Structure 1
Amino acid sequence: MSVSIIPEHKKLSFRYGEHRYDCALLKGQFSARKIVIKVHPDCRVVVAAPEDAELKDIQIALTKRGRWIYEQVREFRKLQEHALPRQYVSGESHHYLGKQYLLKVEEQPEATQIVKMTRGRLEVSVRQKSPEKIRALLDEWYKARAKETFAKRLTAMLEQALWVSERPSIRVLTMKTQWGSCSPKGLITLNPHLVKASRECIDYVILHELCHIAEHNHSERFYRLMGQVMPNWEKTKEKLDEMAFEIIS
C-alpha cells in the first residue's frame, strides 16, 4: 500500500448556480465521524465522510457549502493564473524541508557544476545557463538530500515502530502519484520531492509505510496503529496535501 499524492477516491458532482464541480469522495478514511469538505490549492474538491454516510446527506452538505466552495475555487484559480511555470532562473522560490529558498544561478564556464545551500539561498553554478541543466542539477541535489534525510528520519521513526523487527531498506524513486509505498516484503519507496516538505510530513509518510509492515491495507487496525504512533497524523496529512501542488511542480 502507499501514501498517494492524490488519494484514490469515488467521484460525485454537484452544481452551484451555473457552475458544476466534480468532487472526490473519501468514505471511511481518516476516522471521519462527520462530513468534511476541503478545497485544495489545485482546485480539487474533496469530501471525507463516515463509511455509513448516505449520498443524499453528502449532497446536502455540498449544497449548503456551495457558495464557500465556489469562492475557494475562484481564489485558487486566480492564483494559478499568476503562477508562472518554473524558469529555473535567479529569484525563483524553491522548497527544502518545509522552508522556501531563493534560487541563485551563476554562470562560470570553468567551474565545477554544483548546487549548494547558503544563507537562505540555493546556489547553482553552471558552465552555461540552461533551464534543463539547472533543473537536472537541482533534481540530483534533491535526490542526494532525500537519501540522507530519509535514512535519518527512518532511524528516528523506528524507535516508535516497535513492531518492526528489522530495519527496512529504502529506495528513492520519483513518482507522479505517490509520496511513498511499501512492498509486501517491506521495501519502502519514497518520492524525492517529499524532501521539500517539512520533517513532520516526512515522518508521517515514513510512519504510514512502517504501519503497512504490520497491516498491509487501510483497515481499522491500520488507522488505529497510525493514531497510536502519530496522534496528529490527519493534520499533518492535510499540510502535505495543501503544499503538494507547489512542491511537485
Structure 2
Amino acid sequence: MGVVRVGQTDIRYELRRSAAVSERRITVTPGHVEVVALTTDDAAEIDAFLQSKRQWLFNALRDIEAQTAMRAVVPRFMTGSKMPYRGRMARLTVRRHDGPHVEVSYRSGFIVDLPSWVRQRDHDTIVATELKLWLKQRVRRDVSEIAELYCKRFALKPRTIRIADMKTGWGSCGPSGSILINWALVLAPKNVLEYVVAHELAHLTVRTHGSEFWAHLAMMMPDYERRKGWLDVHQASLDVSFLDRSA
C-alpha cells in the first residue's frame, strides 16, 4: 500500500503492476484508489507519475465524495421506497400473496410479492436478496444481448463473457479473451452498460489504451465519448452495497 500527499491529505493507494497495459493509470472508486503501473517501472517513475496526477487525483476524490454523499440510500425495502435502476430512481412496491415463492417483476417500478409465511423481521433481508438476484439476472441478459450484437457485427470471438462483483473497474478483458463486466452497471443507463461491453470487446482487437484503441472504439461506437462521460461523472453512484442486508 503506497501513500501520496494531495493538499493536506495523505491518500493511500493500491499499486498493481501489469504486463497487459502500455500506459499507467489511476482508478478512483469510493474508499479505494488503484494505481496500475508498467512492470518495468521503478519507484521513481511511479512517484513522478503520481506527482503529475496530483491535481487530477484531488478533483477525482472531491467528486467521488460529493457523489457518495448524494447517492441513494434505501433504509427500508417497503412500498414507496425508491432505488436506483438504469440511471433513474425506481419506485418499490411490496405486496403479500398466498403463493409459495417470492416473485419480483418490473412494471414502471419494482414489484415484490412476498409469501404470507415471510416473517416481518425478515422482510428487508428477503426483499433485498431477491432484488439483487433479479438485477443480476437482468444485467446478465443485457450483457449477453449486447455482446451478441457486437460480436456478430464486428466478427469478434471472446472466449467467455461473464458478469462479476468487481472491487475496482467496470470491465476487463484478459489475455485469453475472457471478458468480465461489473454487474453494478445495472444501475447505469443501458447505453452506458453497452459502452463498457463494447469497450472490453474492442480490446480483443487492440489491447492497449492508446490512440489506436480509441479510434477503433469510435468506429464501433461513434458516440462512445458521451456514454463514457456519463460514467466518469456518475461512477460513485453505482454502488450496490445497499442490497447487502444481514438477517
Cα offset, 1:170, TM superposition: 2.1
Counterpart of 2:142 (choices 141, 149, 166) is 149
Cα offset, 1:153, TM superposition: 1.0
Unmatched 5+ stretches in structure 1: 1-9, 31-38, 46-52
Unmatched 5+ stretches in structure 2: 14-22, 34-47, 242-247
In the alignment, structure 1 residue 122 sits paired with structure 2 residue 122? no
**TM-score with structure 1 length normalisation?**
0.65
Counterpart of 1:214 (choices 202, 205, 230) is 205
Cα offset, 1:181, TM superposition: 2.0
In the alignment, structure 1 residue 108 sits paired with structure 2 residue 97? yes
Cα offset, 1:184, TM superposition: 2.3
Aligned residues: 216
Cα distance change on mapping 1:227 and 1:22 into 2, 3 Å? farther
Cα distance change on mapping 1:11 and 1:237 into 2, 3 Å? farther
2:78 corresponding residue in structure 1: 89
1:189 corresponding residue in structure 2: 180
2:19 corresponding residue in structure 1: none
Cα offset, 1:201, TM superposition: 0.8
**Once the two structures are superposed, what CA deviation does each residue of 1:218-240 show, in whole Å capped at 9, x if it has no partner?**
34432332233234333322312
Two-structure CA RMSD over aligned residues (Å): 4.2
**Once the two structures are superposed, what CA deviation does each residue of 1:49-106 show, in whole Å capped at 9, x if it has no partner?**
xxxx9988766x67xxx9x9999688657646xx645432222222333333111112
CA distance in 1, matches of 2:202, 2:217: 7
Tell me, yes or no, if the aligned pair for 2:80 and 2:91 is still in contact at 8 Å.
yes
Cα distance change on mapping 1:245 and 1:44 into 2, 3 Å? farther
Secondary structure, aligned partner of 1:147: helix
Tell me, yes or no, if the aligned pair for 2:78 and 2:94 is still in contact at 8 Å.
yes
Secondary structure, aligned partner of 1:103: strand
**Once the two structures are superposed, what CA deviation does each residue of 1:117-153 show, in whole Å capped at 9, x if it has no partner?**
12x2101112324222111101111122122211111
Secondary structure, aligned partner of 2:167: coil
Cα distance change on mapping 1:161 and 1:22 into 2, 3 Å? farther
Residues 171-186 of structure 1: pairs in structure 2 closer than 5 A:
171-186=162-177
One-letter code aligned to 2:131: L
Tell me, yes or no, if the aligned pair for 1:106 and 1:124 is still in contact at 8 Å.
yes
**TM-score with structure 2 length normalisation?**
0.65
Cα distance change on mapping 1:90 and 1:11 into 2, 3 Å? farther
State the identity %. Answer: 23
Tell me, yes or no, if the aligned pair for 1:157 and 1:203 is still in contact at 8 Å.
no
